Amino acid sequence: MEGQTRGLLEKPPTATTNPTLSSLGAVFILLKSALGAGLLNFPWAFYKAGGLVPAFLVALVSLLFLISGLVILGYAASISGQTTYQGVVRELCGAAMGKLCEACFLTNLIMISVAFLRVIGDQLEKLCDSLLPEVPQPWYAAQDFTLPLISVLIIFPLSALREIAFQKYTSILGTLAACYLALVITVQYYLWPQGLLHQPRPLLSQSPWTSVFSVFPTICFGFQSHEAAVSIYCSMRNQSLSHWALVSVSSLLACCLVYSLTGVYGFLTFGTEVSADVLMSYPGNDTAIIVARILFAVSVVTVYPIVLFLGRSVMQDFWKKSYWATHGPPVLVDPSGPWVRLPLTFLWVSVTLAMALFLPDLSEIISIIGGISSFFIFIFPGLCLICAVGMEPMGPRVKCCLEAWGTLSVLVGTFIFGQSTAEAMLELL
């Protein structure tokens, strides 16, 4: 039994060409993948959960599944020999499940793009309020004008490029923006600058105990580094599973610290009056908050092309397999060529922009993304674990425990998907 367990933790490296990623680099990439727009939503999630204690309990339970999901994906990648998330699912769980994974992957990236545009629009709106204090606001300060303008002048040109190599340093900017935001919210609570009304607010809402389940979509949206986990694992020099587990724990604990500071002090500052985007609760003329808005908006603008690139690559793969890609004119055969790449980019930006302008609240987008993300955090890792343990010799007790954990992960993910989807539909109606 001990030998079988040791073999499980020291899987051989996957077949990746020249893996060069260091352990520290893997920690930072996982950290950057998780520290995104979901950070703005955590104080609101603490309010929805009914206060600090219920929110922390849910977060601790979720953290156990989040870490196990990353470890399972590394194990599944070593078993399957695949280097992409959808490739691992397709290899272990079958072609049908692989197609479902691709569909969820594409849908999730679209909704993440919508959330990014919504965050950019909200921050532009507050910046215009601080720079143009007159009432009513001029037409060019409206979000319906500024967000399409940014999309046309900045986002589309950055996203239309064939390669995204120039984006490799944006992880530093994104991590700094997230840490600065957490620091500012913490400091603002203790300093209480002019403009924040200091009045007693309830620290616990009177909502029923079932309201704690509404936190799961926010956690799934905030900690979604699982989509990139397989690629990161396969790029590491040291691919033993025990080492990957250490990397996963380190990155998620650091991420949890930043999220907890933001969630706790944002909720303590505004209580039940906190907005779904916590920066929208602060006055528009506070210099520290203005800097936070600018940093976060710039960070999101630079990350959006990466998300679009990943989604576009899935659509380009569909294009390769299609009839027109095989029999069309030669200029249209290359899916990365301008005749394919530019229309797909324009379509992606246009659809996500229209959805961002149509959905009035970031919380509605969070519920949708959180539900879809449950597939990548809970359901697909659970299915991969169930299928992978059947491919290796191990003791019946170990196999039974792993299969039970995989089944529990699938059931939890299914519940979160159903709950968040129902909540999102009710809010949209």
Query: Quick one: pLDDT at residue 227?
Result: 81
Query: Quick one: pLDDT at residue 331?
Result: 46
More confident of the two residues 338 and 278: 278
Query: Quick one: pLDDT at residue 409?
Result: 93
Is residue 221's pLDDT more than 70? yes
pLDDT one-digit tens code per residue, 340-362: 788 888 999 999 999 888 876 66
Query: Quick one: pLDDT at residue 326?
Result: 58
Among 305-309, 353-357, 372-376, 387-391, the minimum mean pLDDT is found in 305-309
Query: Quick one: pLDDT at residue 69?
Result: 92
pLDDT one-digit tens code per residue, 89-112: 989 999 899 889 888 888 888 888
Is residue 129's pLDDT more than 80? no
Is residue 165's pLDDT more than 60? no
pTM of the model: 0.79
Average pLDDT, the chain: 78
Domain ranges of the chain: 20-428
Return the HEC string of the chain: CHHHHHHHHCCCCCCCCCCCECHHHHHHHHHHHHCCHHHHHHHHHHHHHCCHHHHHHHHHHHHHHHHHHHHHHHHHHHHHCCCCHHHHHHHHHCHHHHHHHHHHHHHHHHHHHHHHHHHHHHHHHHHHHHHCCCCCCCHHHCHHHHHHHHHHHHHHHHHCCCCCHHHHHHHHHHHHHHHHHHHHHHHHHHHCCCCCCCCCCCCCCCCCHHHHHHHHHHHHHHCCCHHHHHHHHHHECCCCHHHHHHHHHHHHHHHHHHHHHHHHHHHHHHHHHCCCCHHHHCCCCCHHHHHHHHHHHHHHHHHHHHHHHHHHHHHHHHHHHCHHHHHCCHHHCCCCCHHHHHHHHHHHHHHHHHHHHHCCCHHHHHHHHHHHHHHHHHHHHHHHHHHHHCCCCCCHHHHHHHHHHHHHHHHHHHHHHHHHHHHHHHHHC
pLDDT band at 279 (very low <50, low <70, confident <90, very high): confident
CATH of 20-428, one of 3.30.470.20, 1.10.10.10, 3.20.20.10, 1.20.1740.10: 1.20.1740.10
